[in-house]
Amino acid sequence: MTRMRAQTVSRPWAGYCIAVVMATSGACRPESDKTERRESARAPVQAPAPEQPAPLHGVGGVEGVDAAYDRGRQPARVIAALGIAPGQRVADIGAGLGYFTLRLSDAVGPKGQVVSTDINDEALERLRKRVSERKNVVVRKAAPDVPGLEAGTYHLILLSEVDHFLSDRATFLTRLRPALAPDGRIAVTHLRAMRPPLVAAAQAAGYAVVSEDTSLPDHYLLFLQPVASP
Ligand SMILES: C[S@@+](CC[C@H](N)C(=O)[O-])C[C@H]1O[C@@H](n2cnc3c(N)ncnc32)[C@H](O)[C@@H]1O
């Protein structure tokens, strides 16, 4: 009787003891577990894991990292809509980490060229590493509000989610104009809510919206060309 009472009284304590001991010492673990702990204590110090780049905000994403993000942006559909021909020269203004740069590089092929610009040094450094094997990509630092493109040679200039950073969209678009090849186009894509200020600036800078792709889930994608002088 006394024994039974003692067992009953001791159960809560025993449970507490087991929980504390398991959590702190591992003494109540199965033998295999304890062996693993002893072995890991003896194991040589492992080389640190390769450094993972810290998240960098405001510079866009990298395709393949976040499926939901890619579903929203539809990079393959965007590139198809840009209508790039092999051998063309294109610019990716505000390329960030190069969300579109790699696909642009594939689209222009070995005889074409992609010039990717940004103002952010860390983004530029990461992008350079990502495209180091691609001979048809030039990564270039730009000054804010200065496109930094050669005159007369770009078949397509892409501005993807960058125009809201510009201090004056119309001025920047005006400065882009000399870089266009004859019949060159500017493609602008951003979230749909960002379309009105871009269109107003484009008109002020002497461009017309010559075509538009409306198939993207969240983004507009439109094409600008200079309005012909009368
Ligand atoms: C939101 S990210 C967009 C990145 C990529 N284009 C995309 O679609 O995911 C905007 C990028 O534009 C860059 N940027 C801002 N102002 C710029 C300017 N005046 N010229 C070039 N790049 C600029 C930022 O540093 C940033 O990397």
| Ligand 1 in reach of 157 Cβ (< 6 A) | no
pLDDT for 17 beyond 90: no
Domains of the chain: 2-42 (no CATH), 67-226 (3.40.50.150)
Atom of ligand 1 nearest to the CA of 146: 19
- Residue with the bigger pLDDT between 67 and 31: it is 67
pLDDT at res. 191: 98
Report how far apart, in Å, the C-alpha atoms of 150 and of each of 53, 56, 107, 146, 179 are: 32, 29, 21, 12, 6
* SS (HEC) of the chain: CHHHHHHHHHHHHHHHHHHHHHHHCCCCCCHHHHHHHHHHHHCCCCCCCCCCCCCCCCCCCCCCCCHHHHHHHCHHHHHHHHCCCCCCEEEEECCCCCCCHHHHHHHHCCCCEEEEEECCHHHHHHHHHHCCCCCCEEEEECCCCCCCCCCCCEEEEEEECCHHHCCCHHHHHHHHHHHEEEEEEEEEEEEHHHHHHHHHHHHHCCEEEEEEECCCCCEEEEEEEECCCC
Share of the chain above pLDDT 90, in %: 73
Whole-prediction pTM value?
A: 0.80
Q: Write out pLDDT tens, residues 74-118.
A: 999 999 999 999 999 999 999 999 999 999 999 999 999 999 999
Q: What pLDDT, on the 0 to 100 scale, is given for residue 7?
A: 38
Do 69 and 135 contact (CB within 8 A), yes or no?
Answer: no
Q: Which of 93, 163, 165 to mutate to test the pocket of ligand 1 (most atoms within 8 A of CB)?
A: 165
Closest-lying ligand 1 atom to the alpha carbon of residue 92: 6
At 221 the pLDDT is 98
Going by C-alpha positions, the residue among 121, 141, 118, 139 that lies closest to residue 130 is: 139
- For residue 48, how far is its CA from the centre of ligand 1 (angstroms)? 33
**What is the structure's pLDDT at 44?**
58
Tell how far the Cα of 230 is from the centroid of ligand 1, in angstroms: 34
- Per-residue pLDDT, averaged over 137-143, amounts to 98
Regarding the beta carbon of 102 and ligand 1, being less than 6 Å apart is answered: no
95: Cβ below 6 Å to ligand 1?
yes
Q: What is the CA(50)–ligand 1 centre distance, in A?
A: 27
* Residue 21, pLDDT above cutoff 90: no
Using one digit for the tens of pLDDT, what is the confidence trace for 158-202?
Answer: 999 999 999 999 999 999 999 999 999 999 999 999 999 999 999
